[in-house]
Homo-oligomer: A and B are copies of this chain.
Amino acid sequence: MTSSREGRPGSGPVPAPAGPDDGGDTEAMALLEAARSDVDPELRRAVDTLPGQLRRIARYHFGWERADGTPAAGNAGKAIRPALVLAAVRALGGRPKDAVRAAAAVEVIHNFTLLHDDVMDRDATRRHRPTAWSVFGDADAILAGDALQALGYVMLAGDPHPGAARAAARLATCVVELCAGQQSDTAMERQAPGEVTLDGCLAMAEAKTGALLGCACAIGAVYAGAGEEEVAALDAFGREAGLAFQLIDDVIGIWGDPRRTGKPAGADLLARKKSLPVVAALGSGTAAGAELALLYGVPADPSDAAALARTVRVVEAAGGRDWAQLQAGDRMSRAVQCLARAVGEPAAAGELLALAEFVTRRTV
């Protein structure tokens, strides 16, 4: 995983309420809470159709069971994608009740990618718990992921809604893109710093992070009976918001306050990750950019605080931070434009906007 605090947006634990000025966040958190309670029964029902051990691995992954099979309090993630599906249905005048299964199917697909990403990235924890592969082994985690991908389509195939087939087609197409994004990500980590281009890095982030957020919004539009133009506009809205998220997430990965992010400062730089601000700095043509290339050419010494501080400063001096923040703002305004194209009435667009701002407006 190149550059995300939590793997992908909304994969982390439910956050504490934001500060008093964040009225939009309060709305977003209420939407997420409502989506979780609407979708959770459908999600559990679907996962419980899996046979034997696959069910157990999936239930562990979703946080509903401990490794020994006893029930757990459960923390299945923020449910941003289901909330986007349901908000998109409402924004376009559909009935969200009819889209609950589709929203759950999108979440199942998201979780298939998390299971496999954790195996590939050798990530030992997710949502503050040991990852499925580290508990059950690689083979079981791969198989549970494979079964969840299939389950997503089984759920849509059994959905009587007239939009279900169109949604399944979008979802399967999106999975190919997600795989391509993750593939680019792992390939970039193996490349020399100078070989990674900013365009390549942005394309990777769009495929890996933007595509499924876009697909969630698009599926909501499909379930509202929208035409192809509105569906495409909502897809673009989710993609742009996803890119804005990734940019902000990468900024947090370097300049975030460890007391607020819960992550050690500069962890991405120590891991020599080619996050967006880093790649922008490397390609800046500045003296600081050239110094960064030298620093990134050798592994970091985690005990050398001065070297880390120097690396943080050169990324900033090379313009990496400013570029990422401007770019994030630009992506959010593009997202808003896409949203306006699909949803003429500003009031109807409010929920989608609140969700997009929630995932991107995060404490740096």
Contacts and interface: CB of A to CB of B under 8 A. Distances in A.
B50 A176 contact: yes
Nearest to A52: B180
A287 interface: no
Contacts of A62: none
A40 interface: no
Interface string A112-146: 10001001100000000000000000111011111
Interface string A230-271: 000000000000000000000000000000000000000000
Interface in A19-68: 50-54
A150 to B, nearest CB: 4
Residue among A120, A154, A187 facing the most chain B CB atoms (10 A cut-off): A154
A206 interface: no
**Identical chains bound together, number:** 2
Contact-residue bracket for chain A: 35 or more
Given A154-B169, A157-B168, A169-B154, A147 B120 contact: no
Contacts of A209: none
Contact of A150 (B54, B142, B179): B179
Given A116-B143, A147-B175, A151-B172, 10 more contacts: A50-B180, A51-B176, A145-B146, A146-B175, A146-B179, A150-B179, A154-B172, A157-B168, A157-B172, A165-B165
Interface of A: 50-54, 112, 116, 119-120, 138-140, 142-147, 149-151, 153-154, 157-158, 165, 168-169, 172-173, 175-177, 179-180, 182-184, 186-187
Q: Considering the complex of A and B, which 10 residue pairs feature the smallest CB-CB distances, nearest first?
A: A157-B169, A150-B175, A153-B172, A120-B139, A147-B179, A51-B180, A143-B179, A154-B172, A150-B172, A139-B186
